[in-house]
């Protein structure tokens, strides 16, 4: 088992200890969009002691294998992302849209923040659904072509880094909306007067939050760097 130290990046910590993702989230240490920062850098931003935080995480780390995605090549990884995280979002986004609107309608008079929850979730859904289509129809086919190629490819958009830069920016926007939902829902805690639908909605939002952060981590910190490095190797060979 890899011991955690302050020089490790947040992304490396989650790669080696997947179950610690929730502990990083609890400390507001962003391992998905900010996964390339070291633990020391992230702790400094939040006034945490890096060595003490590393020691705490080591104490919580179970004996577990690294994340299965760490051993995948880019083609295997895009297949995994589609089968796992894209499928999850395809199923959960419509369901949670219904639930957020339902509880805002029923409980909004006593909990006006639910109107903001429904609006923020609507923005997140509007961000994620076209994002998934762009990955499935544009970026992921490019990745598969690049991995199968034996020479540099000329894509319609130029370098594969161009659509990746768009995906990174959209990940940042999705991350901001997830953070907003965490704040609006008091970290997805159902109040004492919440009904069964209220509880189901907040459980679903919590699951969506965790899954989407891991999804973004796999792309930002594993897939995208690997694909860019592959394209750069082809370019270096040509030059």
Check: CB of residue 213 under 8 Å from CB of residue 25.
yes
Q: Are 213 and 174 in contact (CB under 8 A)?
A: no
Helix (H/G/I), strand (E/B), else coil: 155:
strand
pLDDT in tens, the chain (239 residues): 689 999 999 999 999 999 999 999 999 999 999 999 999 999 999 999 999 999 999 999 988 999 999 999 999 999 999 999 999 999 999 999 999 999 999 999 999 999 999 999 999 999 999 999 999 999 999 999 999 987 777 777 778 999 999 999 999 999 999 999 999 999 999 999 999 999 999 999 999 999 999 999 999 999 999 999 998 887 766 55
d(CA 164, CA 36): 16
pTM listed for this prediction: 0.93
* The pLDDT of residue 1: 65
């Amino acid at each position: 088992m890899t011991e955690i130290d302050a020089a490790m990046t947040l992304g490396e910590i989650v790669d080696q200890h997947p179950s610690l993702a929730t502990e990083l989230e609890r400390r507001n240490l962003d391992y998905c969009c900010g996964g390339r920062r070291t633990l020391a850098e992230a702790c400094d931003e939040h006034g945490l002691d890096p060595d003490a935080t590393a020691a705490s995480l080591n104490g919580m780390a179970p004996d577990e294998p690294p994340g299965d995605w760490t051993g995948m090549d880019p083609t295997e990884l895009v297949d995994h992302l589609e089968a796992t995280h894209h499928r999850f979002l395809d199923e959960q986004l419509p369901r949670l849209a219904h639930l957020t609107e339902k509880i805002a309608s029923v409980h909004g008079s006593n909990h006006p923040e639910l109107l903001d929850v429904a609006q923020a979730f609507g923005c997140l859904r509007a961000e994620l659904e076209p994002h998934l289509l762009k990955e499935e129809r544009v970026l992921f086919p490019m990745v598969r072509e690049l991995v199968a190629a034996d020479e540099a490819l000329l894509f319609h958009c130029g370098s594969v880094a161009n659509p990746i830069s768009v995906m990174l920016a959209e990940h940042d926007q999705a991350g901001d909306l997830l953070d907003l939902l965490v704040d609006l829902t008091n970290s997805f805690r159902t109040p004492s007067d919440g009904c069964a639908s209220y509880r189901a909605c907040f459980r679903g939002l919590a699951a969506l939050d965790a899954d989407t952060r891991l999804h973004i981590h796999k792309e930002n910190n594993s897939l995208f760097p690997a694909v860019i490095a592959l394209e750069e190797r082809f370019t270096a060979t040509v030059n």
